[in-house]
Amino acid sequence: MPKQTVLKQILIWRAKHISKKQFVYLLSIIIGFTAGMGAVVLKNLTHFIQHLLEAKLIKHYHHAFYFLFPILGLTLVYLGIKYIIRNKVSHGIPSTLYAISKRKAIMKPFQMFGSILTAPLTVGFGGSVGLEGPTVATGAALGSNIARMFHMNQTTRTLLVGCAAAGAMSSIFKAPIAAIIFAIEVFSLDLTIASMLPLLLASLSAILTSQFFFGDDVILPFRIEDKFYLSDAPFYILLGVIAAFISIYFTEVYDRIQKLFDSLKSPIKKLIVGGTGIGLLVYLIPPLYGEGFDVINNLIVGTPEKALENNIFGLDLSNIWNVVVLLIALMLFKIVASALTFGAGGVGGIFAPTLFMGSIMGFCLSKIINHSGLLNSPLSESNFTLVGMAGLLAGVLHAPLTAIFLIAELTGGYELFVPLMLTSTISFSITKYFKPHSVYNMELGRKGELITHDKDHAVLTLMDIDRVIETNFTVLYPTMTLEEIIQKAVKKSKRNIYPVINKESKKLVGIILLDDLRSIMFDQSLYKEVTASDLMQKPPEVINLDKDKMTDIMKKFQDSSAWNLPVKKDGKYYGFITKSKLLTSYRRQLINLQAES
């Protein structure tokens, strides 16, 4: 056990020479570096595959490879998951949110390399998704397992997972401030001094790692040249409204297609349906191939025809209205292509598709207004393209601050800060009204398993229901006589409540309180005449373990004023939850959650 010995020596040395706070700072730097390395590996593998396929096969051989490559890539992903990883590789950020909410920020070791093996195959072979989610998942898994290795508690593990997410985003976009805000907004980390410095160190460590390997290369190499004028404000407001409805469209299409694939139980069926669908879309609309940052850059510099030169309709791209129609179709089909990629078993993220659709949305709106003859001086199409990306990010991800600072940092300045705030705020507010949960957390949100900045809700979400259920209650049956109840329950049990269940179905039919027995328990003339069915009453509430969340359970106690409530599972009696144990567990979880504050 040399490994255990070395680790033990490190832990002993740390305990003697470094405080816990300093050690967390050190771990955040290490995790930022590992997240940055994960981003480097993912990006390089993906770009190597894309360069190999697009440069050699598609351009020099046949356009039909656009149809074949996504199917081939998804098949390789399926085989890799089944025979190499042997575990389900879930979508990056949702799987990380689930680990924080329901697994005490513990992520399984295979998640450290699962996305590295599968995401480059998905995106490199033409899957219409991004690399941000897999990069965050890889970094988060590394952060979680490093924290576990050094015996960090749940609160610190959660913080270090957030550090990994910040590091991953910082490395990809070279936007360290936006990366920190992303970790706080999406993972609902508390913004305190205790959390801010580790996030900052991780983000800095990751961006230095990225700079070392990639130099000054950035995803969107563009600097703002056009100024914001107050007269443009109404059009940015309009952009915010449009962004909100496109965000709703994005979320709705994604959700419906995912539900459709959930109904296909067989992974092979999902692969065939999704692979064929994405292959057909990419063949008909080549710009849907991969992440799509080339299209975004073409729009920002004002050369949309370069992004559309392979259109199968042969439309004249010198006609601006043909360009606008093709771009709008490209925007609407991007989320369909992304959802099909996910449904077929592909591994990726929705960050890049969101930027892709947002850029087209902003560009098209400004282009339509400029060619409508409404204005004497034209709107800046590059500015609207950039702000459109922020507007859609704010709506789809429910992360307006991340959207604002990301675009500001990517463009190297804050000249667009006012329109970014205006569009992002409007888009987020309208989308939030119609879609309470983002694409990342809609499933967890529906189940009530999502961690939020609401401290009470966060504590309840983190509580383990199974730990507060007690099963040592004496069970009664409806036909039992008063004498049997006294002899088998009252004399032997220390409880003052007894569940009455159907002997055959095991379903709860009522409860008997000790107070119900006091007035007759010494009247022997009633011992043979009165049965449990005569004495039992309906419980004020019943907890359904199959669907009730911890927030629902707490509300049932609050509304009923009961001290004990029965629990059923699969329709059968399961046990009781007592208010005293529930509140004790709540208090313990609250203390743990605030331990680092």
Q: Give the sign of the dihedral formed by CA 298, CA 302, CA 306, CA 311.
A: positive
Please spell the DSSP secondary structure of 546-586, one letter per residue.
TT--HHHHHHHHHHH--SEEEEEETTEEEEEEEHHHHHHHH
**465 secondary structure, DSSP code:** G
How many other C-beta atoms lie within 10 A of the C-beta of residue 40? Answer: 19
- Same domain for 349 and 482? no
* CB 171 within 8 Å of CB 40: yes
Ordered DSSP codes for 18-48: S-HHHHHHHHHHHHHHHHHHHHHHHHHHHHH
Rounded CA separation 590/597 (Å): 11
- Report in angstroms the alpha-carbon separations of 434 from 238, 248, 424: 18, 7, 16
How big, in percent rounded to 5, are the helix, strand and coil portions of the chain? 65, 5, 30
Q: Are 193 and 228 in contact (CB under 8 A)?
A: no
Is residue 183 in some structural domain? yes
Does residue 219 form part of some domain? no
Q: Are residues 193 and 255 in the same domain?
A: no
Whether 390 is in a domain gets the answer: yes
Nearest to 352 by CA among 161, 136, 159, 176: 136
Residues 420 and 484 in one domain: no
Residues 281 and 318 in one domain: yes
Same domain, residue pair 86 and 123? yes
Residue 572: phi and psi, rounded to 5, are -110, 155
Contact between 477 and 500 under an 8 Å Cβ cutoff? The reply is yes
For 220-239, the DSSP string reads S-----SPP-GGGHHHHHHH
- Is 161 in the same domain as 82? yes
Claim to verify: residue 440 and residue 499 sit in the same structural domain: no
Return the CATH number at 133.
1.10.3080.10
Angle, CA of 574, 575 and 578, to the nearest 5°: 150
User: Does pTM surpass 0.85?
Assistant: no
Give, rounded to a whole angstrom, the gap between the first and last alpha carbons of the chain: 36
Q: Which residues contact 528 (CB under 8 A, 6 or more apart)?
A: 481, 482, 483
What residues make up the domain containing 447?
230-457
Has residue 224 been placed in a domain? no
Decide: 343 and 274 in contact? Cβ < 8 Å: yes
The reply to whether 116 falls in a domain is yes
Of 155, 179, 214, which marks where a domain is finished?
Answer: 214
121-152 confidence digits (pLDDT tens): 999 898 899 888 899 889 889 888 888 888 88
Phi/psi of residue 505, nearest 5 degrees: -85, -15
14: left (phi over 0), alpha (psi -120 to 50) or beta: alpha
Sign, CA torsion 493/498/500/506: negative
- Length of the chain equals 597
Domain-terminating residue out of 418, 439, 457:
457
- Examine the domain organization and report whether 124 and 262 are in the same domain: no
**Same structural domain for residues 294 and 399?**
yes
387 touches 419 (CB < 8 A)? yes
C-alpha to C-alpha distance for 83 and 327, rounded to whole angstroms:
40
**Could you say which of 457, 483, 511 is where a domain stops?**
457
Structure tokens at 538: 């309906």
Distances, alpha carbon 480 to alpha carbons 253, 489, 505, in Å: 56, 11, 16
Q: What's residue 52's pLDDT?
A: 81
CATH number at residue 582: 3.10.580.10
Q: Are residues 121 and 156 in the same domain?
A: yes
Q: Where are the alpha helices (DSSP H) in 55-103?
A: 65-80, 92-102
**Euclidean distance between CA atoms 52 and 50, whole angstroms:** 5
The Cβ of residue 590 has, within 10 Å, a number of other Cβ atoms equal to 17
| Count of domains observed in the chain | 3
337 assigned to some structural domain:
yes
pLDDT in single tens digits along all 597 residues of the chain: 455 677 777 777 777 778 888 888 999 999 999 999 988 899 889 988 888 876 655 555 456 677 888 899 999 999 999 888 888 877 678 778 777 777 777 888 888 888 889 999 999 898 899 888 899 889 889 888 888 888 888 788 888 888 998 999 999 888 899 999 998 888 777 667 777 899 999 999 999 998 888 776 777 777 777 888 888 999 999 999 999 999 999 999 999 998 899 888 888 999 999 999 998 998 888 888 888 888 888 888 888 888 787 667 667 777 888 889 999 999 999 999 999 999 998 998 888 999 999 999 999 999 999 988 777 788 999 899 999 999 999 999 988 999 999 998 888 767 888 999 999 999 999 999 998 888 877 655 544 444 544 454 555 566 667 778 888 888 899 989 988 888 888 888 888 888 999 888 889 999 988 887 888 888 888 888 888 888 888 998 998 888 887 778 888 888 888 888 899 988 899 899 888 788 777 777 666 655 544
Task: Say how many C-beta atoms besides its own lie within 10 A of residue 275's C-beta.
Answer: 27
Whether residue 74 is found in the same domain as residue 24: yes
pLDDT at 10: 76
Residues 6+ apart with CB under 8 A from 299: 307, 327, 359, 360, 363, 381, 385
So what's the pLDDT on residue 205? 94
In a domain, 221, yes or no: no
Kindly state whether residue 574 falls inside one of the protein's structural domains: yes
Strand, coil or helix: 6: helix
User: What's residue 215's pLDDT?
Assistant: 72
What is the dihedral angle through the alpha carbons of 261, 264, 267, 273, rounded to the nearest 10 degrees?
-60
Q: Is residue 168 located within the same domain as residue 92?
A: yes
Compute and round to an integer the Cα radius of gyration of the chain: 29
Long-range contacts of 74-78 (CB under 8 A, 24+ apart): 74/122, 74/125, 74/127, 74/271, 74/274, 74/275, 74/278, 74/341, 74/344, 74/345, 74/346, 75/271, 75/275, 76/121, 76/125, 77/118, 77/121, 77/122, 77/345, 77/346, 77/347, 78/267, 78/271, 78/345
